[in-house]
Amino acid sequence: KNEVEQSPQNLTAQEGEFITINCSYSVGISALHWLQQHPGGGIVSLFMLSSGKKKHGRLIATINIQEKHSSLHITASHPRDSAVYICAVSTGNQFYFGTGTSLTVIP
Amino acid sequence: EPEVTQTPSHQVTQMGQEVILRCVPISNHLYFYWYRQILGQKVEFLVSFYNNEISEKSEIFDDQFSVERPDGSNFTLKIRSTKLEDSAMYFCASSESGEGFSPLHFGNGTRLTVT
């Protein structure tokens, strides 16, 4: 049973394209995290959300609590955005992670 | 910018041996976490730690695992008797406030290989 589902699993885009990664979850949450995992394995936290929308540079994250759904958008994508993007939720007791979306941005 | 530091970056050990993975969280952070990622699989939560005690742990965190904050800076994960299936990348993370109030800061991970 997967508490967190992400789509797509793999995504290839041309530089400059607008990208959307989706995350659905099935548990009650205290927060949702979007993480970026680099090819070397390191993980960076991009956003933590419990409601609404957040923006940081070219990245935008939204969450709909009623629908248990979140999206991560990348505007004007760049090859350096190539990474695995992971959605994770915390219930206050546990963390659950999605399997990640592998993004490749081609110049 | 302050960061979470993990050592070693790679540890190779024989089955049955004890290993200690070390983490130095960001100095003003109060909440600490360990996660693992088996090669090719998703990240999994192991344990959270606050106020010198375990807050939550997952089913993975059985009696073979323990965590400790031996001094004011280090946060360690001990695996008592390693098994082949313990081979994974182990990530430490810390946050200033509790879950949902402040973001997580991850270390670069320790790759554990059990032979």
Average pLDDT over residues B78-86: 97
Please judge whether B105 and A43 are an interchain contact, meaning their C-beta atoms are less than 8 angstroms apart: no
Average pLDDT over residues B17-38: 96
Average pLDDT over chain B reads 94
DSSP, collapsed to helix, strand or coil, labels residue A40 as coil
Find the angle CA(B64)-CA(B60)-CA(A65) to the nearest 5 degrees. Answer: 150
* Distance between CA atoms of residues B78 and A66, nearest Å: 40
Please judge whether A33 and B42 are an interchain contact, meaning their C-beta atoms are less than 8 angstroms apart: no
Asked whether residue B89 carries a pLDDT value surpassing 90, the answer given is yes
Distance of CA B23 to the CA centre of its chain: 7
Set of chain B residues whose Cβ sits within 8 Å of the Cβ of A44: 106
Q: What's residue B102's pLDDT?
A: 85
A-chain residue closest to B57, CA distance: A94
Q: What's residue B76's pLDDT?
A: 97
Nearest to A99 among B42, B99, B103 (CB): B42
Q: What's residue A88's pLDDT?
A: 96
Asked whether residue B100 carries a pLDDT value surpassing 80, the answer given is no
Set of chain A residues whose Cβ sits within 8 Å of the Cβ of B6: none
B-chain residue closest to A40, CA distance: B108
Q: What's residue B99's pLDDT?
A: 74
Asked whether residue B44 carries a pLDDT value surpassing 90, the answer given is yes
The rounded average pLDDT for each run of 10 residues, N- to C-terminus, in chain A (107 residues) is 93 98 95 93 92 96 97 97 96 89 97
DSSP, collapsed to helix, strand or coil, labels residue A80 as helix
Q: What's residue A6's pLDDT?
A: 97
Whose CA is closest to A3, among A76, A96, A100?
A96
* Distance between CA atoms of residues A48 and A65, nearest Å: 14
Share of chain B above pLDDT 70, in %: 100
Structure confidence at residue B54 as a pLDDT band (50, 70, 90) = very high
* Distance between CA atoms of residues B34 and B32, nearest Å: 7
Amino acid type, A102:
S
Structure confidence at residue B24 as a pLDDT band (50, 70, 90) = very high
Find the angle CA(B95)-CA(B98)-CA(B104) to the nearest 5 degrees. Answer: 30
* Distance between CA atoms of residues B66 and B20, nearest Å: 9
| Cα distances (Å, whole numbers) of residue B109 to A62, B3, B11, B47, B53 | 28, 12, 11, 15, 22
* Distance between CA atoms of residues A92 and A76, nearest Å: 35
